[in-house]
Amino acid sequence: MFHGGGGGNWMSYIWSDPEAQKKRGLFNRALLWRVSTYARPYTRDIILMLFMILVTTGLGLLTPLIFRDLIDHALQPPGDPARLNWLAAGLIAIPVINGTIGVFQRRINARIGEGVIYDLRVALYAHLQKMSLRFFTGTRTGELISRLNNDVIGAQNAISNTIVTIITNIVTVIAILLVMLSMEWRLTILGVLVLPFFIIIARRLGSRLREIARTQMQNDAQMNAMMTETLNISGALLVKLFGRTGSEVARFEQRAGSVREAGIQRAVMGAQFFRLIGLVSVVGTALVYWIGGHLVLSGAFTVGTIVAFGTYLTQLYGPLQALTNAPVDFATSVVSFERVFEIIDLPHDIAEPAAARHLDAVRGAVAFQDVHFRYDSGGGLLSQPERWDDEQELTLSGEGSTAAPARSQAREQALQGITFSLQPGELVALVGPSGAGKTTLTYLIPRLYDPTAGRITLDGHDLRELSLATLAQNIGMVTQETYLFHDTIRQNLLYARQAATPAELEAACRAANIHDFIAGLPDGYDTVVGERGYRLSGGEKQRLALARVILKDPRILVLDEATSSLDSQSEALIQEALAKVMQGRTSIVIAHRLSTVMAADRLLVLDRGVIVEQGRHAELLAQGGLYATLYETQFKAERQTL
């Protein structure tokens, strides 16, 4: 499997090392076999299309014979008007019949090609949906979009055009050679003497064309990635706030320029290829007419024969030229398949076991047993992004901007030796400095990540033994960054439970203190929220997110700063609603408000990925440790306002 970042070195190795070429050939055969598996459901259509190819090829062979008969018999004195009429009618009928068959052939061809690509695209999207959060945090969205669009379209070209063209040309070349040999074997041999020149040109330019095609796809993917990053709402806002419009345009010019240069190289190389091939064809045709003309003058055969033979030769060189270029076309299309299969072959690091257990009834007991976790520092699984000249290493904290002691949280392990348990119905609050590992800990509960070591259980069952559907149905989470689709409020809420009734929808919104706001909108629940919900304020988005998780009605609630963007009045109403919602449910909350701390059955204090203190509010204050320090710095102002 190749990776986008090293295309040039990889290609030079392949084309310089004979052993690598041998392995590459084996891989191409394996890849071709894999591609063919996607075509198997369309076997009947493929057989019908091949039959149509044979019919149209056979009809095409009749035209030169009609010309020969026209010249040698119908037009020779004293002439044969009736024969001339029939031959003229044949010249009209053949293209009409071929054209009609061609329309149906194109329909079947499109049905096969579009069907195969549909299957491939759905398989790719389904595979991406099952990838873990680790994959998406290390891979650029634009790169994935490029694989789903540009590369799949390239693969579609291989199915709909390249392969069909190769088959058609093979049939045509074989049929024409057989007819030419039956007419004049000497001229046939003379006509195909130029074949080695076709092969030499294809070998010299074919590999270079493939390398250029791969580079062009990689550059195009990088350009798409940049557009996705800077043209969404968040990216556009960041660019404007920091005044980086000029630098982003310059960076885009560089990316687009790379795509342009690769396109120019590909076009020029392709033009050189076709001009050289065309020149070889002209030389071959001239040789045949030169030698054949002398044979006609010597009476070896008729004028009609040399005309028919010349027509066949023209029909032969076209498919022969296409077949010579076929390895180049197919190799270029193979690049698209390779890039698509690269993603499909990526393993799912969050996968269900073969006999995953599904729990019909969940009590909500959660236990962490000596859990360790570290973020993979290897970056994305696809090509790496090129940023500005910043060589500083970034660390992942996933935390908010809470005031905390000035102690660095940078470390190799995000979590170390985490052990605690939550009883059904218990409310546990996580407290600690920014970057201590609070958000990371919550991400492990719904299996957005798996622990590096240790185990997490739900009702005594290891999460890795349970079906992902069980976890999704019974765990509700409101994350720091509220995400809403560019759709109506109703559809965003129904994402939690499609079968929810309007009454249930309204009840959830009332519980989240957002119903009155929605009812006051001109379109009510049918109001479109805009890209990522940017038409709403931060507090409104968070209340919608709360309503969505309330509508889901999970057994376990995970709230990561779920009320951080709310004013005091809205927060008081939501805290009251959450108190009712949390009854009988296991709840784990990242606490950044004093009200959450005071309501918790137990507090877990994290520092540098380790639980350093746990207990109730009063107990921890009495210990005078980290929690007491956090309380004085973080909650002091809030406490004074109460």
pLDDT of residue 398: 37
Q: What confidence tier does 420 reach under pLDDT thresholds 50, 70, 90?
A: very high
- pLDDT of 416 higher than 90: yes
Burial (0-12, 13-18, 19+ Cβ within 10 Å), 86 = middle
Structure tokens at 556: 């376990």
Q: CA-CA distance, 201 to 205, in Å (whole number)?
A: 6
pLDDT of residue 565: 55
Q: 222 vs 515, which has greater pLDDT?
A: 515
Q: CA-CA distance, 491 to 511, in Å (whole number)?
A: 18
Lowest mean pLDDT, pick from 121-130, 392-401, 570-579, 616-625? 392-401
Lowest mean pLDDT, pick from 425-434, 461-470, 549-558, 626-635? 626-635
- pLDDT of 17 higher than 50: no
Neighbours of 275 (CB within 10 A): 11
Mean pLDDT taken over the chain: 77
> In this predicted model, what pLDDT tens digit does every residue of 583-610 receive, in sequence order?
778 989 987 777 677 778 899 999 989 9
- pLDDT of 417 higher than 60: yes
Going from the C-alpha of 31 to that of each of 62, 242, 331, 345, 450, the distances in angstroms are: 38, 47, 11, 12, 32
Q: CA-CA distance, 634 to 636, in Å (whole number)?
A: 6
pLDDT of residue 269: 76
Q: Which domains, from first to last, does the chain contain?
A: 31-344 (1.20.1560.10), 366-374+409-480+555-641 (3.40.50.300)
Q: What confidence tier does 389 reach under pLDDT thresholds 50, 70, 90?
A: very low
User: How is 88-151 classified by DSSP, letter by letter?
Assistant: HHHHHHHHHHHHHHHHHHHHHHHHHHHHHHHHHHHHHHHHHHTS-HHHHHSS-HHHHHHIIIII
Counting residues of the chain whose pLDDT is more than 70, the rounded percentage is: 80
Mean pLDDT of 535-542: 78
Mean pLDDT of 258-275: 79
Beta strands in 341-493 (DSSP E): 366-373, 415-422, 427-431, 453-458, 461-462, 475-478
pLDDT of residue 216: 79
Cα–Cα nearest to 277, from 245, 346, 325, 219:
325
Q: What confidence tier does 421 reach under pLDDT thresholds 50, 70, 90?
A: very high
pLDDT of residue 214: 75
- pLDDT of 641 higher than 80: no
pLDDT of residue 570: 63
Angle between helices 233-241 and 245-297 (to 10 degrees): 120
φ, ψ for residue 287 (rounded to 5)?
Answer: -60, -45
Counting residues of the chain whose pLDDT is more than 90, the rounded percentage is: 11
Q: What confidence tier does 7 reach under pLDDT thresholds 50, 70, 90?
A: very low
pLDDT of residue 561: 66
Whether the CB-CB separation of 420 and 611 falls below 8 Å is answered with yes
> In this predicted model, what pLDDT tens digit does every residue of 132-143 receive, in sequence order?
777 887 777 777
pLDDT of residue 430: 93
> In this predicted model, what pLDDT tens digit does every residue of 159-173 receive, in sequence order?
767 777 788 888 888
pLDDT of residue 569: 66
pLDDT of residue 537: 77
Mean pLDDT of 472-500: 85
- pLDDT of 381 higher than 60: no
- pLDDT of 341 higher than 60: yes
Q: CA-CA distance, 593 to 228, in Å (whole number)?
A: 35
- pLDDT of 395 higher than 70: no
Cα–Cα nearest to 607, from 638, 629, 586, 587:
629
Lowest mean pLDDT, pick from 6-20, 155-169, 527-541? 6-20
Cα–Cα nearest to 53, from 45, 63, 41:
45
